[in-house]
């Protein structure tokens, strides 16, 4: 079979891709946009979204989403909400009303939002690949997230957000994400605050020539350990109630380091992780899953680093003594901005200046601060503690701007180490080996010390981000991934084929292709099963591969990468050697599996398992699909047929068009109305295109 027929079998790629590329090529006009608009960035191991109104709230009416790390695993969201403000002193609004203090908040709610979302668009460095599994486009869920393609940008993705505020300050945010394997667990966020005098969506300048005095800007960012950790600990973890806060480089520590003081701190960073929950009677740091093997589900450390802060509107050199406020505050104690009055304006401004709402300073020392809600904690905030960063004050003349560059990042133990440490903590025996190779007889100390190494990985990530920034984002790049990746289930093999990106195989550092595979689920360890390229066991560059090793009854997931030969990765930006394109461009989310040949006679059609005992599905599921226990299979069916499923009284509950030529068709016990079937007798009517048919009964027992 040719490469063309392999890729385009049972799919209409020309029409699908053409429509996709046409949509991407359209440049949006800059005008007021709905503040609810979002763009997801999904190219690296850290994945996050950007909202048009100028900051982000993660609640999607089901769970808190965002800041997903590591993104290759499920339920690893670590984000709750980010609130942001700007404030000035001695301000006169467009109606001539004087304000000793005037602040505005980047909130989504109508009662708070008095700003104007002008732009939100995502630019990609190259056209996003398209991935098909058995003819289904599994990348369709990302449609609409990329607005345009520009091969000249250095990051893989840039999301630009522009918001005009009611004080005449225009904020532009640029999120820059990288998929290169040493730089994919952070995003660099560049803020520009410009005194444009424009307070709304039109081009009229309402506050021309007004200087913004005492300008402060800041954000309160609330994280949580992970969505998974909330399921194995107290529910309060869901909204980050046990997050502990730490900072480095506060006061003059970073400034002194720049001046050559070895006792100073080379990092400006605030970070958070899950601490002890006082309501739990075990050591909850790292969120060990005690109901299973002890795997740590919440060892993530999430942080915000500072790369640059302008000295003032006329001086773009970095001010090492910024941010002026760096610490923590109560997330639910953020100042209310619904009422436009002097008290709320002063309260917001004072918070940006470092005054905690409970009357405590928001600055703290280098050691972690627990957010244990037990009295007499002065914060006593059920929403938990959040990282507080404040910048200023600045005096910004009309037309001047302030540029701030932050890094949002995540780090922590690998999944393998989470498994190993958690299992040893739950079932192991002393002595326990600590990260520095010393030992302890205390299993909680052992677990906690390993969790705390997440801070070290975070600092390493920050240092890589700083190198990237100092290099002007000119870091070594892997080759582009294949433009199209197709996976097709078969009777004795699973066939994979791909279409290379234009010109990629002619690049001087192109090394070849490598295929990875996982069994049974997507969020597990993937194994390299094939590679081709001059320095591999398969020196010829090919565009198809037949996986002959699958076992019937298992589901298989794949991704393909293009890799470099390492010759152009010889800079100080990261370790030398081969670089791979990101797995997230081509990873399949739908399973492929071995299929049976088409049945030769209708009399051979079977329904398996039958009867289907829901309560014993652990046994019955092993008959066909180990990892899909709700699946019922129609076996030995014609290669093309229609399967209609009825209740015993004759109600049609689902129709399946079987067209792939195999003898298998799965059904996950779900009706066409997305309802789980109840106990009872069901009738399957199988009909061929020629009109031949047969009926099979099967029973479901709950």
pLDDT value at residue 619: 39
Q: What angle in degrees, to the nearest 10, is found between the helix axes of 443-452 and 454-470?
A: 10
CATH number of the domain within which 637 lies: 2.60.40.1930
Query: Same domain, yes or no, for 623 and 526?
Result: no
Lowest mean pLDDT, pick from 84-98, 171-185, 242-256, 360-374: 360-374
DSSP 334: P
Q: What percent of the chain has pLDDT over 70?
A: 87
The residue among 660, 591, 562, 477 whose CA lies nearest residue 129 is: 562
Q: Is residue 438 part of a domain?
A: no
Residue in 1, 189, 124, 4 with CA at minimum distance from that of residue 582: 124
Is 73 within the bounds of a domain?
Answer: yes
- Region 165-180: mean pLDDT is 97
Residues 45/71, Cβ–Cβ less than 8 Å? yes
> What is the pLDDT, as a whole number, of residue 10?
39
Q: Which whole number is the average pLDDT over 166-191?
A: 97
Domain assignment present for residue 432? The answer is no
The CA–CA distances, whole Å, from 471 to 115, 154, 662 equal: 35, 11, 54
Residue 24's pLDDT is 41
Lowest-confidence region among 28-37, 374-383, 392-401: 374-383
pLDDT at 435 over 60: yes
The CA-to-CA distance between both ends of the chain, in Å, stands at 46
Question: What HEC string does 553-583 produce?
Answer: CCCEEEEEEEEECCCCCCCCCCCCCCCECCH
pLDDT tens, position by position, 185-195: 999 999 999 99
pLDDT at 614: 65
How would you classify the pairing of strands 48-51 and 544-547?
Answer: unpaired
Q: Which of 219-233, 302-316, 621-635 has the highest mean pLDDT?
A: 302-316
**pLDDT confidence of residue 225:** 85
pLDDT at 372: 44
pLDDT digits (tens, 9 = 90+) for 132-151: 998 889 987 777 899 999 99
If asked whether residues 383 and 273 sit together in one domain, one would say yes
Residue 367: what pLDDT? 38
Summarised one tens digit per residue, pLDDT across range 326-335 is 877 776 667 7
Please tell me whether residues 400 and 545 are part of one structural domain.
no
Same domain, yes or no, for 185 and 226?
yes
Contact, 174 vs 41, CB < 8 A?
A: no
Query: pTM of the full predicted structure?
Result: 0.85
Average pLDDT over the chain, rounded to an integer: 87
DSSP state of 26: P
Q: Which tokens hold the place of 581?
A: 């394109």
The single-letter DSSP state of residue 585 is G
What CA–CA distance (Å, rounded) separates 404 from 478? 29
Position 199 scores a pLDDT of 95
Contact 486, 543 (CB under 8 A): no
Residue 35 — left, alpha, or beta (φ > 0 → left; ψ -120 to 50 → alpha)? alpha
For residues 559 and 672, state if they share a domain. Answer: no
**Residue 511 near residue 535, CB atoms below 8 Å:** yes
Q: Report the alpha-carbon distance of residue 52 to residue 225 in Å, rounded.
A: 26
Task: Give the separation between CA 495 and CA 431, rounded to whole angstroms.
Answer: 49
Least confident segment among 9-13, 152-156, 471-475: 9-13
Residue 521 within a domain: yes
Of the candidates 83, 179, 461, 79, which has an alpha carbon nearest to the alpha carbon of residue 307? 461
* Whether the predicted pLDDT of 155 surpasses 90: yes
Asked whether residue 522 falls in the same domain as residue 651, the answer is no
Measured distance CA(681)–CA(686) in Å, rounded: 16
Number of domains in the chain: 3
Residue 110, pLDDT score: 57
Residue 328's pLDDT is what? 76
pLDDT band of 374, cuts 50, 70, 90: very low
Sorting pLDDT into bands at 50, 70 and 90, what band is 615? low
Let me know if residue 65 belongs to a domain. Answer: yes
- For residues 561 and 629, state if they share a domain: no
**Three-state secondary structure call for residue 47:** strand
Q: What mean pLDDT do residues 673-698 have?
A: 93
Lowest mean pLDDT among 381-395, 434-448, 519-533: 381-395
Q: What is the mean pLDDT of residues 518-546?
A: 94
The answer on pLDDT for 474 being more than 80 is yes
| Same domain, residue pair 557 and 643 | no
| Residues 361 and 506 both lie in one domain | no
Find the CATH number of the domain harbouring 493: 2.60.40.10
- Give the model's confidence band at 618: pLDDT under 50 very low, under 70 low, under 90 confident, else very high: very low
Range of the domain at 489: 484-585
Query: What is residue 322's predicted lDDT score, i.e. its pLDDT?
Result: 94
> Could you tell me the two tokens for 72?
């290759």
Coil, strand, or helix at residue 546?
A: strand
Reported as a pLDDT band with limits 50, 70 and 90, residue 111 is low
What would the pLDDT profile of 15-51 be if each residue is shown by its tens digit? 344 344 444 444 444 578 998 899 999 999 999 999 9
Which domain-ending residue is among 384, 409, 434?
409
My answer on whether 563 and 607 are in the same domain is no
Render pLDDT for 555-575 as a digit per residue (tens, 0 to 9): 999 999 999 999 999 999 999
Q: Decide: residue 110, CB within 10 A, 0-12 exposed, 13-18 middle, 19+ buried.
A: exposed
Q: Which stretch of 73-77, 353-357, 682-686 has the lowest confidence by average pLDDT?
A: 353-357
The angle subtended at Cα 515 by Cα 509 and Cα 519, nearest 5°, is 155
Domain assignment present for residue 80? The answer is: yes
d(CA 170, CA 193): 6
What is the distance between the alpha carbons of residues 78 and 474, in angstroms, rounded to a whole number? 29
pLDDT band at residue 122 using 50, 70 and 90 as cut-offs: very high
Provide the pLDDT for residue 16. Answer: 40
- H/E/C letters for each residue in 86-151? EEEEEEECCCCCEEEEEEEECCCCCCCCCCEEEEEEEEECCCCCEEEECCEECCHHHCCCCCEECC
**pLDDT at 109 (0 to 100):** 64
The domain boundary residue, chosen from 409, 434, 464: 409
Residue 138 sits in the same domain as residue 252:
yes
Cβ(291)–Cβ(318) below 8 Å: no
| Per-residue pLDDT, 84 | 92
Please report whether residue 89 resides in a domain.
yes
Q: Which of 409, 436, 469 is the last residue of a domain?
A: 409
192 and 269 co-located in one domain: yes
Question: Tell me: the pLDDT tens digits for 192-212?
Answer: 999 999 999 999 999 998 999
Evaluate if residue 551 carries a pLDDT over 60: yes
| Residue 447 belongs to some domain of the structure | no
| Closest CA relative to residue 585, chosen from 510, 507, 479, 666 | 479
């Amino acid at each position: 079979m040719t490469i063309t027929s392999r890729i385009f079998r049972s799919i209409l790629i020309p029409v699908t891709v053409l429509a996709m590329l046409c949509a991407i090529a359209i440049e949006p006009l800059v005008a007021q946009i709905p503040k609810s608009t979002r763009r997801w960035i999904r190219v690296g191991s850290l994945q996050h979204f950007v909202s048009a109104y100028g900051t982000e709230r993660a609640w999607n009416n089901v769970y808190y989403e965002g800041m997903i790390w590591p993104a290759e695993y499920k339920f690893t969201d670590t984000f709750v909400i980010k609130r942001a403000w700007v404030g000035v002193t001695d301000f006169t609004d467009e109606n001539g009303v004087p304000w000793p203090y005037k602040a505005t908040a980047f909130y989504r709610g109508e009662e708070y939002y008095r700003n104007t979302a002008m732009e939100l668009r995502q630019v990609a460095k190259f056209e996003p690949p398209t991935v098909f599994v058995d003819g289904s486009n599994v990348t369709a869920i990302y449609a609409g997230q990329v607005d345009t393609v520009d091969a000249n940008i250095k990051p893989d993705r840039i999301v630009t957000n522009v918001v005009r505020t009611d004080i005449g300050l225009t904020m532009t945010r640029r999120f820059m994400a990288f998929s290169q394997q040493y730089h994919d667990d952070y995003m660099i966020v560049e803020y520009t605050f410009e005194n444009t005098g424009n307070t709304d969506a039109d081009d009229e300048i309402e506050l021309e020539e007004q200087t913004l005095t005492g300008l402060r800007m800041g954000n309160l960012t609330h994280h949580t350990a992970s969505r998974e950790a909330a399921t194995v600990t107290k529910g309060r973890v869901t909204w980050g109630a046990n997050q502990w806060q730490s900072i480095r480089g506060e006061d003059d520590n970073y400034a002194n380091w720049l001046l050559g003081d070895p006792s100073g701190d080379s990092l400006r960073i605030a970070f958070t992780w899950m601490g002890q929950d006082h309501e739990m009677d075990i050591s909850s740091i790292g969120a060990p899953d005690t109901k299973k093997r002890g795997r740590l589900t919440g060892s993530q450390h999430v942080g915000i680093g500072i790369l640059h802060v302008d000295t003032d509107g006329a001086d773009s050199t970095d001010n090492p003594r910024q941010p002026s406020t760096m610490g923590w505050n109560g997330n639910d104690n953020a100042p209310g901005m619904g009422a436009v009055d002097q008290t709320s304006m002063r309260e917001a401004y004072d918070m940006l200046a470092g005054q905690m709402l409970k009357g405590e300073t928001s600055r703290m020392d280098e050691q972690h601060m627990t957010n244990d809600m037990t009295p007499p904690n002065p914060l006593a905030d059920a929403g938990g503690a959040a990282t507080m960063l404040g910048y200023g004050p600045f005096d910004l003349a009309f037309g001047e701007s302030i540029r701030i560059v932050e890094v949002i990042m995540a780090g922590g133990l690998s999944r393998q180490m989470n498994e190993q440490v958690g299992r040893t903590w739950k079932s192991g025996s002393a002595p326990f080996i600590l990260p520095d190779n010393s030992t302890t007889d205390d299993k909680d100390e052992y677990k906690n010390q390993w969790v705390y190494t997440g801070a070290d990985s975070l600092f390493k990530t920050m240092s890589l981000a700083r190198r990237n920034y100092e290099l002007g984002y000119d870091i070594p790049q892997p080759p582009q991934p294949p433009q199209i990746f197709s996976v097709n289930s078969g009777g004795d093999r699973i066939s994979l084929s791909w279409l290379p990106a234009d010109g990629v195989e002619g690049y001087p550092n192109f090394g070849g292709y490598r295929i990875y595979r996982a069994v049974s689920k997507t969020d597990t360890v993937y194994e390299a099963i094939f590679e081709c390229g001059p320095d591999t066991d398969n020196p010829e560059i090919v565009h198809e591969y037949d996986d002959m090793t699958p076992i019937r009854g298992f589901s298989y997931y794949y991704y393909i990468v293009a890799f470099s030969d390492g010759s152009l990765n010889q800079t100080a930006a990261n370790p030398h050697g081969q670089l791979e394109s990101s797995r997230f461009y081509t990873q399949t989310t739908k399973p492929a599996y071995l299929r049976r040949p088409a049945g030769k006679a209708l009399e051979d059609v079977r329904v398996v398992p039958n009867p289907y005992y829901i309560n014993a599905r652990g046994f019955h599921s092993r008959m066909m699909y180990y990892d899909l226990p709700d699946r019922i299979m129609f076996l030995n069916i014609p290669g093309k047929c229609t399967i209609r499923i009825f209740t015993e009284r004759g109600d049609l509950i689902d129709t399946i068009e079987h067209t792939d030529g195999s003898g298998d068709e799965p059904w996950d016990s779900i009706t066409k109305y997305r309802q789980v079937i109840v106990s009872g007798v069901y009738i399957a009517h199988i009909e061929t295109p020629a009109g031949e048919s047969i009926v099979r009964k099967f029973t479901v027992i709950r």
